[in-house]
Copies of this chain bind each other. A is one copy, B any other.
């Protein structure tokens, strides 16, 4: 059994537990940030869950480092994993991969490529947006001069940012909040790219089938843009 297959084996075995840990991490973070009346017990429990989940992530990183047999180069070649370890709020993206794996295991027929891209992009953006809104709310809500005062404001601002609309009626004022915002803008650009690219390639595909127009053709053609 060589290194690659052992890494693969490890990744297949840990997929679901890591996905669950990611969701727990996000939930504990959300409770910590949003709890209106922070009782000591609840806060401590949340902190414990956060640390435990992060320990699981670190363990997974360490095992995969070991299995790769790469030494110090691993940090650079797997820079994405390193980044996610340091910024565990990006972790929930893993859930998208777990969702794919679970669908696969249950023998569900896979969606068409365009639908899959839209579903995955939507799921990723929803998770990242939720994590981003939490982080910005935590940074901003107590700041003097802040316009993001409630979690509702933070969600509203996140939606305006991810769609690249950007009203600017509320916007972050702290350096950390703005750093999160820049990350969300990049997500917005990528989302736009996913929607547009998906639509464009779907159109091209329909187009190449247009020579033999059938009744299903146009109905199908209304799929992606349909709300």
Contacts and interface: CB of A to CB of B under 8 A. Distances in A.
A163 B191 contact: no
A203 interface: yes
A77 interface: no
Interface string A112-130: 0110110011001000100
B195 A195 contact: no
Interface of A: 80, 90, 93, 96-97, 100, 110, 113-114, 116-117, 120-121, 124, 128, 152, 156, 159-161, 163-169, 171, 175, 178, 181-183, 185-207, 210, 213, 218, 221-222, 224-227
A120 B168 contact: no
Contacts of A90: 227
A218 B185 contact: no
Contact of A117 (B114, B152, B171, B221): B221
